[in-house]
A = this chain, B = another copy of it.
Amino acid sequence: MLDRRSLITAGAAVAALPAPAAAQDAATAGPQPGSATAASPGGVLSVEVTADKDGFVAYSVNRLGKPVIAPSRLGFLLTDARKLERAFGILDQTVTGHDDTWEQPWGERRFIRNRYTELRLQFQERWGLMRRMDVVFRLYDDGLSFRYEFPEQDNLETVRIGAELTEFNIVDAGTAWWLPAFEYNRAEYLYNKTPISAVGVSQTPLTMRLEDGTHLSIHEAALVDYSGMNLRRVEGGKFRAMLTPGLTSAAVVREAPFHTPWRTLQIADQAGGLVESSLILNLNEPNRLGDVSWFKPMKYIGIWWDMHLDTRSWNSGPKHGATTEYTLRHIDFAAEHGFGGVLVEGWNVGWDGEWFGTGWGYSFTQPYPDFDIERVAAYARSKGVEIVGHHETGGNAFFYEQQLEDAFALMRRFGWHTVKTGYVADAGGARVATADGQSALAWHESQAMARHHQTVVETAAKYQVAVNAHEPIKDTGLRRTWPNTITREGARGMEYAAWGQPANPPEHEPNLVFTRLLAGPMDFTPGIFGMETRVPAGVATTWAKQLALYVVIYSPIQMAADLLENYEANPAPFQFIKDVAVDWHETRVLSGEVGDFVTIVRKDRNSDAWFLGSITDENPRILTAPLAFLDPGRRYRAEIYADGPGANYTTHRTAIDISTREVTSADVLTLRLAPGGGQAIRFVPLGRVRR
């Protein structure tokens, strides 16, 4: 024998169950079976939501009249009460429109239009506890999203969610780019490229290309006080949400009223459409911090790559990197070449001994004896340079929170506005507080860690500090609401070129653009000229690709990650790193395919200059770049950093061809990318075009 629910779905009345009788009693009022539909403002996407006679709720999505998402169930398992899945009827439905434009304080574009149709459905159980659950859909032309809202009610006060049953039933076959979820090393894996039908449990964003060429990415927006969503493929193209576990059998514990994060689906004809979408940001709440002009987008250098090359160390001793002297040298360099910040890793005690990787022992106020923090601070201030604070927690969020106020107060005293946090959890999880005041390990994307990251960001804001989290929780667009959430890691960065097994292959960055980077900015730390590292592959790009990454990978702070001597020895290509902007008025994707190549152009927010970055995987490409994005009335000097003759990512990485030419918006450039190569261009406005 088995679940009697199925007896119900078989369609005949079963007297053992109160459902049908109760439902009939309510036949003339209250929640009813039914359906609702709505379409995006431009009519591109439409959704249909049904509550069937057995009380199951499902949604389906069409794009230009063609099914994209087949009927997909909604609901929850609770750990202390009957599940929220069957018995629902529709109590009310409303459709409203929204259209406004908002301004980012910094970002990949200055103005963002937020235009959507909202379908709000009030569901209530038709029998039993008569609990309420609303589902709100927002339909954009470039994607849709929905979230659950739990109103205040008597029969559902504390909501303990054991599992979220949300489904995403992809109608079509296709290709998926995905990272396995529940791996100990968080997001730092190479992407799997498989048929959709071969995905296991995926992190989000999960990017797919259907057989008809439609591109789709599933992710979430506004992950606040909830558990991160993963996607478990059930069968075929049907995925179900799989929440990151919590400290109890409930993945999420919340008091009603509350709502979940938005479950998002970006949908575009071309891969570039996913990148150009602002769906995730639009679904976040407006700025709650007000003026954050104390944070300025900038480029920075640091004491960092040395450690990855193993020529210096984080911990104390003869190889210690974060010495006063070495830091002053970096400050000088930054001041000379126009960098706003100097990152110093390993400045504070806690890096020695067994507690490494557990976080016990890290102080965020006590420097190592060979790091004279007062002298460093004074010297940096005198040179107009900020030190980028560094708070490696070893994943011990619990211990970090105890020092949070003091740590940020110290930074405030020195006038340092950017901190790089780290959660290298060698223990296998992040340490968080438990209900009894003790601590336990939790997943990086658990509700507890979502709360922790929120605490850090809000505390940092009080001290005018902006946060760049490494080994972070995933990005879900919270920078709109708390714009001191500036960037993060959350993928394999440049350091894997130093010692990765394997190192990052050339397809890694074209993968990132259409997957991880759909979530938000990444502190990838490009700009390496010294291509030999501790592994045979070394840095598997050309120099030109290193430069192009500054345009391709968006982040409001960008590191020039190499050793100073490598920049001093190569002033010509270094010039691009000095010139490239980090804050943008506008961003467009000229061309691209997931994991293959991409060309992105961005307009500087602080001048009329444009920048182009184009990168490829292991295959050479000849791409055309129509310059129609330029101001048609103007001439520009194009400063071109192209792969040189014979360049490739294995044996001729430093072959670079730097040239200038004058162009207008009528020109079409031919970009010749070497294997593992790229191209970076700065377009400097000159005079008006003569008619």
A residues engaging B (CB < 8 A)?
1-7, 9-18, 77-83, 85, 127-129, 160, 162-163, 165, 180, 182-185, 188, 192, 194-195, 197-201, 232-235, 242, 245-249, 304, 307-308, 310, 313-315, 317, 319, 345, 351-354, 356-358, 392, 422, 424-429, 440-443, 446, 470-471, 489, 492-493, 495-496, 498-501, 534-535
Chain B nearest CB, measured from A9 CB (Å): 6
Contact A14 B310 (CB under 8 A): yes
Chain B nearest CB, measured from A557 CB (Å): 15
Chain B nearest CB, measured from A52 CB (Å): 12
Contact A442 B249 (CB under 8 A): yes
| Chain B residue contacts of A9, Cβ below 8 A | 499, 501
| Chain B residue contacts of A428, Cβ below 8 A | 77-78, 82-83, 85, 162-163
| Chain B residue contacts of A201, Cβ below 8 A | 200-201, 232
> With A9-B501, A201-B200, A426-B5 known to touch, is A234 a contact of B317 (CB < 8 Å)?
no
| Chain B residue contacts of A180, Cβ below 8 A | 232, 234-235
Contact B501 A2 (CB under 8 A): no
Residue of B nearest to A251 (CB): B245
Give A287 to B353 CA distance when docked, in angstroms: 50
Contact A534 B195 (CB under 8 A): no
> With A500-B6, A501-B9 known to touch, is A83 a contact of B184 (CB < 8 Å)?
yes
Give A442 to B17 CA distance when docked, in angstroms: 23
> With A249-B440, A249-B441, A499-B10 known to touch, is A356 a contact of B470 (CB < 8 Å)?
no
Give A242 to B313 CA distance when docked, in angstroms: 36
> With A78-B428, A79-B429 known to touch, is A12 a contact of B534 (CB < 8 Å)?
yes
Give A142 to B242 CA distance when docked, in angstroms: 36
Residue of B nearest to A249 (CB): B247
Give A619 to B66 CA distance when docked, in angstroms: 36
- CB < 8 Å: which of B234, B353, B357 contacts A4? B357
- CB < 8 Å: which of B198, B232, B354 contacts A195? B198
Give A10 to B498 CA distance when docked, in angstroms: 9
Contact A232 B182 (CB under 8 A): yes
Q: A5-B357, A6-B500 are in contact. List 15 more A-B contacts (CB 8 A).
A: A1-B470, A3-B426, A7-B310, A9-B501, A10-B500, A10-B501, A16-B314, A16-B315, A82-B357, A83-B426, A129-B354, A163-B428, A198-B198, A200-B235, A249-B443
Contact A499 B163 (CB under 8 A): no
| Chain B residue contacts of A165, Cβ below 8 A | 184
Residue of B nearest to A83 (CB): B428
Contact A200 B501 (CB under 8 A): no
- CB < 8 Å: which of B198, B304, B424, B440 contacts A80? B440
Chain B nearest CB, measured from A230 CB (Å): 10
Give A565 to B611 CA distance when docked, in angstroms: 84
Contact B12 A310 (CB under 8 A): yes
- CB < 8 Å: which of B15, B245, B442 contacts A245? B245
Contact A1 B424 (CB under 8 A): yes
Contact A1 B489 (CB under 8 A): yes
- CB < 8 Å: which of B2, B358, B424, B471 contacts A495? B2
Contact A356 B17 (CB under 8 A): yes
| Chain B residue contacts of A429, Cβ below 8 A | 77, 79, 162, 249
> With A200-B199, A232-B182, A440-B249 known to touch, is A6 a contact of B501 (CB < 8 Å)?
yes
Give A248 to B235 CA distance when docked, in angstroms: 29
Contact A18 B249 (CB under 8 A): no
Give A80 to B425 CA distance when docked, in angstroms: 12
| Chain B residue contacts of A232, Cβ below 8 A | 180, 182, 200-201
Contact A163 B185 (CB under 8 A): no
| Chain B residue contacts of A495, Cβ below 8 A | 1-2
| Chain B residue contacts of A234, Cβ below 8 A | 180, 183, 200
Give A6 to B501 CA distance when docked, in angstroms: 8
Chain B nearest CB, measured from A626 CB (Å): 39
| Chain B residue contacts of A314, Cβ below 8 A | 16
A sample of 10 cross-chain residue pairs with beta-carbon separation below 8 angstroms, ordered by A number, consists of A1-B304, A1-B392, A12-B310, A18-B353, A18-B356, A79-B441, A82-B358, A82-B427, A129-B354, A249-B441
| Chain B residue contacts of A195, Cβ below 8 A | 198
| Chain B residue contacts of A129, Cβ below 8 A | 354
Residue of B nearest to A523 (CB): B1
Interface centre among A6, A81, A188, A489 (most CB of B within 10 A): A6
Give A127 to B82 CA distance when docked, in angstroms: 48
| Chain B residue contacts of A307, Cβ below 8 A | 16
Residue of B nearest to A439 (CB): B80
Residue of B nearest to A86 (CB): B426
Give A197 to B193 CA distance when docked, in angstroms: 12
Contact B198 A128 (CB under 8 A): no
Give A81 to B13 CA distance when docked, in angstroms: 53
| Chain B residue contacts of A235, Cβ below 8 A | 180, 192, 200
| Chain B residue contacts of A77, Cβ below 8 A | 184, 427-429, 441
6 smallest A-B Cβ distances: which pairs?
Answer: A10-B499, A77-B428, A83-B428, A200-B233, A16-B315, A198-B198
Residue of B nearest to A181 (CB): B232
Residue of B nearest to A6 (CB): B499
> With A310-B7, A470-B1, A501-B6 known to touch, is A426 a contact of B82 (CB < 8 Å)?
yes
Interface centre among A3, A304, A356 (most CB of B within 10 A): A3
Contact B188 A354 (CB under 8 A): no
| Chain B residue contacts of A163, Cβ below 8 A | 182, 184, 428
Contact A81 B354 (CB under 8 A): no
Give A261 to B547 CA distance when docked, in angstroms: 53
- CB < 8 Å: which of B80, B184, B446 contacts A441? B80
Chain B nearest CB, measured from A313 CB (Å): 5
- CB < 8 Å: which of B10, B308, B441, B470 contacts A162? B441
